[in-house]
Amino acid sequence: MANLILLLGDQLTHDISSLREGNPDKDCVLMVEVMEEATYAWHHKKKIAFLFSAMRHFAESLKEEGWTVDYVQLDDEENTGSFSGEVERTLKRRDAEALLVTSAGEYRVQEMMEGWEERFGLPVRILEDDRFICSREEFREWAEDRKQFRMEYFYREMRKKTRLLMENDGEPTGGEWNFDQQNRKPAKQDLFMPTPHQTEPDKITQSVLDMVSERFEDHPGKLAPFWFGVTHEDAQAVLDQFIAEALPCFGDYQDAMLKGEKFLYHSLLSLYINAGLLDPLEVCRRVDKAYRDGKAPLNSAEGFIRQILGWREYVRGVYWLKMPDYVDMNFLDAKRELPEFYWTGDTDMACLKAAIDQTLEEAYAHHIQRLMVTGNFALLAGIDPKAVHEWYLAVYADAYEWVELPNTLGMSQFADGGLLGSKPYAASGNYINKMSDYCGGCKYDVKQKTGEGSCPFNSLYWEFLIRNRSKLEDNPRMAQMYSTWERMSGDKQEAYLETAKAFLGQL
């Protein structure tokens, strides 16, 4: 046998670089379920079930293509529980001349891989993961000599590179690069919102669900009902339905939040793309085609493509450029512990309860729920950004450290001091009231600024600005808010700070 090819759980792509370099007539593919990966974060039950089931289905599809596949299930009696242990055990069992892998998505796994040649005493080839549109080196060259990274400028370069939503004269379709101003409409309950495509668990998935129920009973979240797709065909069906039914309204309402409406017009494609079941560039091309065929407006197509071609590629570049130090950044010196209600949903704040309950039920929340509800609260309350990062990594089915960490530490918590974002994403209760119907019926009155019964976001917002004044007041995008504070009466200022102090004291 020539090569042992290790495939990771987020590398479920038939034309991934390691498989392209391999030969099904003589190489062996190794796929492993290991406890080390299932528990390095306190992963949501649905997240574990999704990945293990998708891996098992992918292994079967490789066998159908003629590959020899060694698949180690979690309950295998000889399972060592780690990548290194399983590679070593397989190398003893198989007469491999070399180990072939595609570069890992997460720093800790990549570091592990880079030590394998010395540990195992045979050649280890680590190939680039070219499923990404921007290579690590390409991003490094773009970022060189920049004090601040702005996704908008990076995004424009990716548009030019891929020709997505571009015209023959080199100008962006519609004459603008970004139509975000059109994508901030609040939604109402009388809108027709499609039900996301759901997949009925088959025999393989049911076996995984039984195992997860037994082995990960103490992990957060609900396991049932489980309706995630677990194959390329399933993921394609989700994409097809999104483009046909939800994409036309995605742009207008992508920032909206409604009680009882978990998905609105969002795609739910991120978990499939991040696991390798869908190709990101092909997804973007499908959306581009939908616009050009007159099946989706430009603001929807551009807004969706920006999330993948812009943010997804951008945060991956930042991750690999700044790790391993990035995870410990804490520019605002926030140290408060993560409140227990992030794991239970047991809070009287209606917006937080809605977002967290949905997260625990579905292992999903859309980007505004993450950024402007759970993330905004953690930022204002001064929660340790590393604890916030660990929560997001655990509870969302699409969360891998390379994509989640920069979004959390950088964009949401401003812990990198403005490397990603030009200002903190901090907001009072007014933003949530404008973009959702969460505030109606809440124990706290969003229109009341201070005192008992006032919306905590209102006083926390000002307390956050004053607590971090020395680090934020020179930021030109924050100048207006500090000017507004200075124009307040002393009594009003004191009322804000005292109300915030009382709330934080009981948090």
What pLDDT is recorded for position 193?
75
State the DSSP code for 99.
Answer: E
Q: Would you give the DSSP letter of residue 104?
A: P
The domain over range 3-127 is classified in CATH as 3.10.450.30:
no
> Cβ contacts of residue 115 below 8 Å, gap of 6+?
none
Angle between helices 490-506 and 456-467 (to 10 degrees): 100
Question: pLDDT tens digit string along 140-194?
Answer: 999 998 877 888 999 999 999 999 999 998 899 999 999 877 767 787 776 777 8
Please state, as a whole number, how many other Cβ atoms lie within 10 Å of the Cβ of residue 285. 15
d(CA 163, CA 158) in angstroms, rounded, equals 8
Residue 93 pLDDT > 70, yes or no?
yes
Question: Phi and psi at residue 28, in whole multiples of 5°?
Answer: -120, 135
Cα dihedral across residues 47, 48, 54, 58: positive or negative = positive
- Spatial distance between the Cα atoms of 485 and 497, rounded to a whole number of angstroms: 12
Res. 411: pLDDT tops 90: yes
Contacts of range 150-156, beta carbons closer than 8 Å, 24 or more positions apart: 150/422, 151/310, 151/311, 151/314, 151/420, 152/177, 152/178, 152/310, 154/310, 154/313, 154/314, 154/317, 155/306, 155/309, 155/310, 155/314
Per-residue pLDDT at 441: 85
**Helical (H) or strand (E) element with 303:** helix 298-305
On the question of a cis peptide bond just before residue 220, with omega within 30 degrees of 0, the verdict is: no
pLDDT for the residue 194: 86
Cβ-contact 284, 305 below 8 angstroms:
yes
- The answer on pLDDT for 387 being more than 80 is yes
Residue positions counted in the chain: 507
Phi-psi region of 262 (alpha: psi -120 to 50; beta: other; left: phi over 0): alpha
Concatenated DSSP letters of 170-234? SPBGGG-S--GGGS-PPP-TTS--PPPP-----HHHHHHHHHHHHH-TTSSS---S-----SHHH
The predicted-structure confidence for 463-492, as pLDDT tens digits, reads as follows 999 999 999 999 999 999 999 999 999 999
- Among residues of the chain, what percentage have pLDDT more than 70? 99
Distance between CA atoms of residues 236 and 155, nearest Å: 25
pLDDT value at residue 190: 66
| Cα 280 from Cα 269, distance rounded (Å) | 10
The predicted-structure confidence for 23-34, as pLDDT tens digits, reads as follows 999 999 999 999
Distance between CA atoms of 415 and 406, rounded to whole angstroms? 9
What was the pLDDT predicted at 300?
95
Give the pLDDT confidence of 70-88 residue by residue, as tens digits.
999 999 999 999 999 999 9
Distance from C-alpha of 120 to C-alpha of 92, rounded to nearest angstrom: 10
| CB-facing half-sphere around the CA of 209: CA atoms within 13 A | 16
CATH code reported for the domain at 341-506 = 1.10.579.10
What pLDDT, on a 0 to 100 scale, did the predictor assign at position 150?
86
Cα-based distances in Å from 438 to 17, 31, 258, 504: 46, 44, 7, 22
Residue from 375, 42, 97 nearest 221 by CA: 42
- The rounded distance, in Å, linking the Cα atoms of 451 and 491 is 12
pLDDT of residue 1: 62
The predicted model gives 254-260 an average pLDDT of: 89
The angle at the Cα of 377, spanning 366 to 320, to the nearest 5 degrees, equals 60
| Percentage, residues of the chain above pLDDT 90 | 89
Q: Mean pLDDT across the stretch 52-60?
A: 98
Beta bridge partners of 99: 4, 124
Instruction: Give the residue among 123, 34, 41, 9 at the shortest CA–CA distance from 85.
Output: 34
Helix axes 313-322, 151-162, angle to 10 degrees: 120
User: Average pLDDT of the chain?
Assistant: 95
Lowest mean pLDDT among 98-107, 147-156, 286-295, 300-309: 147-156
Strand partners for 127: 102
In this prediction, residue 243 carries a pLDDT of 97
pLDDT of residue 149: 81
CATH number 3.30.950.10 is the correct assignment for the domain at 136-322:
no
Ordered by start, the domain boundaries in the chain are 3-127, 136-322, 341-506
R_g of the chain, CA atoms, integer Å: 24
- Predicted pLDDT of residue 189: 74
